[in-house]
Amino acid sequence: MRPLEIAIAGCGVAGLACAALLRARGARVVVYDKLEAPRPVGSGLILQPVGLHVLDALGAGAAIRALGAPIKRLYGKSGARVVLDVRYAARGKHAPCGLSVHRGALFQVLYDAALAAGAQIEAGREVIAAGDGRLRFANGAESPRFDLVIDALGARSPLSRQPHAPLPFGALWASLDWTGPFDPHALEQRYEAARKMVGVLPIGRLPGESKDRAAFFWSLQHSAYEAWRATPIEAWKGDVRALWPETAPLLDQISAHGDLVFASYAHRTLREPLSRECVHVGDSWHCTSPQLGQGANMALLDAFALAHALETQSNLDAALGEYARLRLWHIRLYQAASFLFTPAYQSESAAAAWLRDIIMAPLSRLPPAPALLAALVAGELGAPLGAMESRSLGV
């Protein structure tokens, strides 16, 4: 039988993981991205154990572990009160922890894996539509016809029919040199109610660099962004220091508004990942706020499930049905959890912050809550890997 011909729209986490995994099972793969030189956007993220499992399966686990920072704990305080304390080890002394990485490191490792597997990557191709096995580009050109079109265009995918709902809060992000009195194995946050949040995350280093980095973020409403830009940067730094004085050495590395990038968040879950034109993976199927730190992991799991389904089913229709079945419940569970948890950390709601501090935080310390929360954060609830083989696809 001739190999499947697959077009992948989008050269992000989901697209590159699909490219590497599907090439490994013999498909001919072309990845299209609008950027002239595909590159990651943003600062850092936490890869959970389930996401690391997929990177291991595509042969990139060792490379990403060499660059990232192991994360053992998520920790947050509101005033003197500890309101977030999730330890990966609550699932068991030897249970795997998370790995925090610079987005650039994850991108490079996946890009290398896709190229090494033999995927073809076409840059400078802005996708505007799909149909009849082809992609249509903004310059009026069309791709050749493929057996399958995969939509990995992210949260703002023009191929995703249901619009994403913008969330009121996003965040300012910066990648800074690692410094200060922070735990090198923890995501640390400080809150004022749910209105203000500042966070520091060790993210390891970029390929070819020796300096360790930190991701620094400050929660900000979309509607407050212009006012923030109009405020002198030193006044804003004063606000951050007032909430968490220990951030001073990180703030010293920020001298202008342009040193920070504003990331807006959105929430959307398509009822299913299949349409007549394409199959969706990653944020084009399900995007949300990063409070639970699952987006990149879910994108990796989607790619793994799609490759597994194409390998184990006898025809394309059966494989796409199997892909949807493998992922549906895990995605619904995590999208719902993200939707519920987000207002406790990013909202104007005093009630949500009160619930977090007075009800949720004490309850979270009572067994079996610590193990359950750790499993939630590790991406393991709903057994996302259960039905899939854990062997390497041998890229």
Ligand X SMILES: Cc1cc2nc3c(=O)[nH]c(=O)nc-3n(C[C@H](O)[C@H](O)[C@H](O)COP(=O)(O)OP(=O)(O)OC[C@H]3O[C@@H](n4cnc5c(N)ncnc54)[C@H](O)[C@@H]3O)c2cc1C
Query: Would you tell me which residues interact with ligand X (CB under 6 A)?
Result: 9-15, 33-35, 38, 42, 45-46, 126-127, 152-154, 158, 171, 173, 263, 282-284, 290, 293-297, 299
In DSSP terms, 137 is beta-bridged to 127
Minimum gap (Å) between residue 389 Cβ and ligand X: 23
In DSSP terms, 188 is beta-bridged to 75, 200
Residue with Cβ nearer ligand X (136 or 354): 136
Minimum gap (Å) between residue 314 Cβ and ligand X: 28
| Rama region for 124: left / alpha / beta (φ>0; ψ in -120 to 50; rest) | left
Residue with Cβ nearer ligand X (112 or 355): 112
Residue with Cβ nearer ligand X (199 or 343): 199
Minimum gap (Å) between residue 211 Cβ and ligand X: 21
Residue with Cβ nearer ligand X (34 or 355): 34
Q: Say if residues 241 and 248 touch (Cβ distance below 8 Å).
A: yes
- 23: which 2 tokens? 């090439």
Pairing of strands 286-287, 44-47: unpaired
Residue with Cβ nearer ligand X (12 or 343): 12
Q: H/E element holding 249? A: helix 248-251
Residue with Cβ nearer ligand X (333 or 355): 333
Minimum gap (Å) between residue 152 Cβ and ligand X: 5
Residue with Cβ nearer ligand X (22 or 45): 45
Q: H/E element holding 321? A: helix 316-345
What is the Cα–Cα distance from 233 to 218, expressed in whole angstroms? Answer: 13
SS3 of 38, please?
A: coil
Minimum gap (Å) between residue 337 Cβ and ligand X: 13
What is the Cα–Cα distance from 320 to 149, expressed in whole angstroms? Answer: 12
Minimum gap (Å) between residue 369 Cβ and ligand X: 22
Minimum gap (Å) between residue 356 Cβ and ligand X: 19
Cis amide prior to 343 (ω within 30 degrees): no
Neighbours of 80 (CB within 10 A): 5
| Rama region for 91: left / alpha / beta (φ>0; ψ in -120 to 50; rest) | alpha
The CA-to-CA distance between both ends of the chain, in Å, stands at 21
